[in-house]
Each structure stands twice: as structure tokens, then as C-alpha cells.
Amino acid sequence: MRRSPWRLAAAGGLVAVLVAGFTSITASGAAAAEVLLSQGRPATASSTEASGAYAASEAVDGNAGTRWSSAFSDPQWLQVDLGTSKAVSRVELSWETAAARAFQIQVSDNGTSWNSIYSTTTATGGNQNLTVNGTGRYVRMYGTQRTTGYGYSLWEFKVFGDDGGGTGPTIPGGGSLGANVVVFDPSMSSASIQARADEIFRQQETAQFGTGRWVLAFKPGTYNGLNIQVGFYTSVVGLGQNPQDVRINGDITVDAGWFQGNATQNFWRSTENLSVYPVNGTNRWAVSQAAPFRRMDIHGNLNLAPNGYGWASGGYVADSRISGSLGQYSQQQWLTRNSQIASNTNGVWNQAFVGVQGAPSAAGYPNPPYTTIANTPVIREKPYLYDGGVFVPSLRTNSTGISWANGNTPGTTIPLSQFYVAKPGDSAARINQALAQGLNLLFTPGIYQIDQTINVNRANTVVLGLGYATIIPMNGITAMQVADVDGVKVAGILFDAGTTLSPNLLVMGQSGSSANHAANPSSVQDVFLRVGGYIAGKATNSLLVNSNNVIIDHIWAWRADHGNAGTYAWNTAIGDHGLIVNGNDVTAYGLFVEHYQKYQVIWNGNGGRTYFFQNEMPYDPPTQAAWRTGANGYAAYKVADSVNTHEAWAMGSYCYFNVNPSIHADRGFEVPVKSGVRLHNLLTVSLGGNGVIDHVVNTTGGPAQGTATVPSYVVNFP
């Protein structure tokens, strides 16, 4: 065995040591941060709005979806008992619409005599982060004037400061990324790298619903003669700042030999930030959903079909350069965004290009089946791990082509010392304490079962998963709640519904969120949401977006149509909706939403834009009445009647009612007929004649039916 220690000279003191053929990464240093003192402590209030509801404790429970609300009068107060006297340095208030205009933050050692450490008469609600200086056992918000005719209502009341040893030490940032992040060094022999990659691929090739999670990470340099085959729950990444920093003279391959040449189940794998010089001039990436191809520099062609050109059901490329042809071949649908290609070859039903240099002409849709949008209106590329920490790209508007065309991608590096590096087995309470201290969050590869909601309340927090890190909520909780704040980035995570019904898996913003985040939107990128398949999952809705201006950049929300025994059936895998959007001016690139039992997507906010939608209706309604009474099923994509402005491009919905092929769906898309609501390049199709979609949108277009599997198209609506 060769020992070859190496140091990554980077912010945050990132150090990696190569031992026995694989590498673990550690980050030295700790984040100097306050401790959250108030969470879970006893809380009382002057009043509550309703008996048994909106209790004081709900403002200190760490759940940003519950709240305290007072009677409709002045004054009112909410206080928390810290147990012993503590030095208080900061207070965070997350107001519901019913907020305080005039209030004080007060401290007391006995609960009767109070000292004011903050006072205002001009507050406007929302999320307030107050720097204070005081000492006391009790801390309270004392409100004297409201912003509305209702009471005072706080989603969260958080008190930070010096715990004095009473609540445990400050949680440090950084730490090892663990044995499942395997880092390769150019000094290693090609044979040893290939052997380790092959070993992991053998474990993951057919493990569609297994528990393995892996990252294969390449330190900057040149590697020769490799063919890295990518199996389930495996991410292959470069650790350079830009793709050219890691050169693979070889291939990064996905094929479908494990499934008899059918690539329609090649899910949950990715590659990012590498330069590839394929051996025969063409790299093969034959995938379907949840398999992003980001920041790749392909010196040759990219073939998206399996060997033999078997079936493939769609995927996603972003921020990539392909010097040759992008060969779509048997791909039913595909989205390419902010990339550069020399040419495009073929396509089946729904191939979309947004901000792509070299994209084909869209003239003649649906023959050929291309939708081309010249510029991407607003995007921030996904954060990524590299040898300097985690890089967060800057926001781009009206962009085209790759972000790294002129050198380094513009953006900011966050050292790993400013992240809580989570490991499987970590409690949600510890994760929440780390977030409350001000740390970002990095999930190392593995499965996380959590018994309380993970609450992301600080603006600009980065929550990044590695190697398909998987979060399973227990006991019917929401897995993750993000506050209505600027610039939160959630990326690279698989949310897997637990066996007790959750209301949602991921929530962006509280109900009633109203702030404008146009200058610094939050984002959801390469986030995958699963109901069933691995376990008998249950979640009423998968992704709920309440905040305005959120960017959704590649999701797959999937209610299982197959999986481990007993995990998928009409009455077993329970999921009404994949995505509900309540926020205004939300932009989505690459919505893959499939098999939910009611509307797959409901869009309630104004100003929404969707660039590419791929859907299959639920396979398994046992009867027409079981799916919906009073109508034939649910549309895949529903824009609410109250919406006045909405626009969408490249939208496909398919049916495959194999449990009962006599099932009909009235329509694929359902929208209000208004001048501000416009849809472009729509299709519906019945796969093999298993069921019928009677119309494409409302009562226009269709029917999609018959064993010939010929789509029904609508080019523009209205």
C-alpha cells in the first residue's frame, strides 16, 4: 500500500490524507458562534388566540410551521424561561402577518422586574435579527402596538447568547466527510483508481432501493485510461474550482446492461465539475430522472441513449460544454440549460433548451420536438464542493452559455469550517443547534432518520447533500422547513417520505410569506422527493413553496410505481401532490413530477414560469371513482383559477394506467383562460394505449390514446 499524504491549500484548513487506497477529508477550525438558548424551554404568554391552539410553546419548539398567537388587544407578551441567568446577545423574531409595530425585548431574573434591552416603535414584521446585550433568566417580547387588527403572532422566538455551560458546548464546524467520500489523487495508479471505482459500481449497479451512498471525488490533475461507471446513489465530482482543473482521459459512463438495455430506471446518480476526453470520442450518459449532469466539459460527443438505443425517459444537463454533438436519440424528453453544444442529434417528444449556445431551431414544433428559449431569465448555479470548501455561484440574469466561459465562475467560497458536517446518526436536535449557531449544513453520504423538523432560519444558509444523502422524517413531521428569508440554497438532497403521513417533505417559507426576494432568491436544486419504493412512504405533499421568487432548478418528485415489496400501491404509497407553489414570481427549470394521486402540480402564485415539465400520471388507480369522483381524474399541472399571470414551455404528461387500462383523465393541463396565462409546446400521450387522456389542456387537444403511442400536441394556449 502506498501512503501519499497531500494537503489542499485552501480556506478553512481543508486537509486530506490518502491512506490504504482511499481518502477522507477533514476541515480544521470551529465556527465561533452563539448558542441557541430558547429552543424547547418553558414558555408562557399573556394570552392565546384560541383555547388549546397557538400556544406559547409553539414559538420555541424549533418548528417554523407552528406559531404562538395572542388575543386581539394591547399590550401582549411572550416570554421564555432559560432555566438560569444567561448573557443574551441576539434575538430572532419570525413574525406571521400579524406582527408588532411597537415592542420591547426585556430580560428579568425573577419574572416580575424587567429591563428593556431593545425597543422600537417602527417595526414592520417579517424576520428580525436583533443584536442585544443583557443578562437574565427570563426573556420576553412585550408588544404595545400591532400592525394589524389581529393579535401578535410569532412563528419563532429565538434567544441566543452564552450558555454558561448549561446547554453544552458550541458545536464546531468542519470535520471528516467520512469513508464514503472517496478522493482520488493523480499520483495514484490508474489501475488502483479503476479497481476502487469498479468495486463501488458492483455494489451500486442494481441497488435501486439499497442503502449505499457514495461520492467519487477527483483531486485536480490528469487521470489516464479510466472508465468510471456510475451506479445508483453515486456522484462523481471534480475537486477543482472549474471543470478544466480535473482532466479524465477516459469515460464517465452510465449504461443499462443491468436492465436489459432499458435506461428508464437509471435514476439517482450524478456527475459534476470534470473535463472528459472520451476514448472513442463519445461519452455515454444513458440516464432518466434524478441524474444531473452539471459543470461538465466533454471534448467530444455526449450520447444520452443506452447501448442498443433502448428506451430512456429523460434527464437534465446544466452549465456544461460539449464540443461535439448532444445525442438524444431514444430519450423521450430532456432539458439542457445554460450550456454550449456544437449540435444536437435527434429527439423523441419533448427536448427543451434554455440559454444554450448551439441549440437547434424550434421552428416547426412538434416536428422536430424542440423548444428553444434564448436566455435564462434568472439562475444561480448549484453550490458545489471543491478543494477550497464549498463554492456558491453568483446570481445571473438573462444569461446564456456556461458560467465558467471566461475563467472562474463568479461567486463566493465558504470554507468547510463554516459548515456543520452531518453524519448518519446525527440527531435533528444537534443539526438544528448547529444551524441556529450560524453554521451552514453539509450532509455526508448516508441515510438520516430524523424525529424533528430541520429548521433553516438564517438568510443565505447553504444546505448541501453529498452522494444522495437521504433524509427520512419520522412520526409524521415535515422533514425540512426553510424560513421566508433571502438566499437559502438547498441542493443535492433526497427526501424520502416516512411510513407515518407527513404534511410536506420540504417547505420553502412559512404560510403567508410575503417578502420580495428578487435581489437574492432562495433556490432548490437537484432535490429529489420520494414517496414509496424504499419504504411505504406517506406525505400529503412533497415540495411546498410559500416564499416569493424561489428558483426551482431540477427536481424529481416521485410517488413510487415500483420498488421493494410492500412499498408501492394505491393504498400504501400515499401522496396527493408533488409540488404546490403559493409564492409569486417563482421560476422552475426542469420539473419532473410523477404518479401522485391528485394534481401532480398546483400553482397558486402569480408570475410563475416553468421551463420544461415531465410527468406521468399515477399508474395505479384501481377504478375511475377511486381516482376522483365527479370528474375523470386530475390534471397533471393545475394553475389555480385565481392566477392572472403564468407562463410555461415544453410540457409533457403521459398516462400508463396499467392496473386498470380503462381509466380516463379529462385533461393533462388545467388553467384559467386569461390573457396573462400562456402555455407553449404541450403534449399528452398514452403509453401503449394503457388508458386515455381526453384533452391536452382544458377542452383543447387530444385525445391521447391507442397502442401506437402517438402524442397529441397543442403548440400555444390560448
**Is the peptide bond prior to 368 cis by the omega test (within 30 degrees of 0)?**
yes
Dihedral Cα 29, 33, 39, 42, nearest 10 deg: 130
The string over 284-312, giving b where at least 16 C-beta atoms fall within 10 Å of a residue's C-beta and e elsewhere, is bbbbbbbbbbbbbbbbbbbbbbbeeebbb
Cell numbers at 324, concatenated = 461535439
Q: What burial class does residue 565 get, using C-beta atoms within 10 Å of its C-beta: 0-12 exposed, 13-18 middle, 19+ buried?
A: exposed
Dihedral Cα 66, 68, 73, 76, nearest 10 deg: -150
Catalytic residues: 616
Farthest-apart Cα atoms in the chain, separation = 80
Name residues whose C-beta falls within 8 Å of residue 466's C-beta, 6 or more positions apart in sequence.
Answer: 177, 181, 215, 235, 385, 442, 443, 444, 445, 492
What Rg do the C-alpha atoms of the chain give, in angstroms? Answer: 26
- For residues 623 and 657, is the Cβ–Cβ distance under 8 A? no
Distance CA 495, CA 524 (A): 12
Distance CA 132, CA 135 (A): 10
Specify the 3-state DSSP secondary structure of 61.
coil
Q: What burial class does residue 40 get, using C-beta atoms within 10 Å of its C-beta: 0-12 exposed, 13-18 middle, 19+ buried?
A: middle
Cell numbers at 489, concatenated = 440554497
Specify the 3-state DSSP secondary structure of 245.
helix
How many CB atoms are closer than 10 A to CB 507? 25
Distance CA 695, CA 713 (A): 10
CA angle 44, 50, 51 (to 5 degrees): 75
Place of cell 402524442: 711
Closest CA to 691 of 631, 618, 585: 618
Distance CA 139, CA 156 (A): 14
What pairs with residue 671 in β-bridges?
A: none
Dihedral Cα 335, 340, 341, 342, nearest 10 deg: 160
Q: How distant, in Å, are the alpha carbons of 263, 266, 285, 315, 556 from that of 305?
A: 8, 11, 7, 11, 20
The H-assigned helical ranges of 78-130 are none
Distance CA 45, CA 47 (A): 5
What DSSP string describes 337-399?
Answer: ES-EEEEEE--SSEEEEES-BTPPP-TTTTSS-EEEESSEEEEEPPPEEETTEEEEEPEEEEE
The answer for 298, left when phi > 0, alpha when psi is -120 to 50, beta otherwise, is beta
Cell numbers at 11, concatenated = 480556506
Q: How distant, in Å, are the alpha carbons of 116, 120, 435 from that of 108?
A: 9, 19, 27
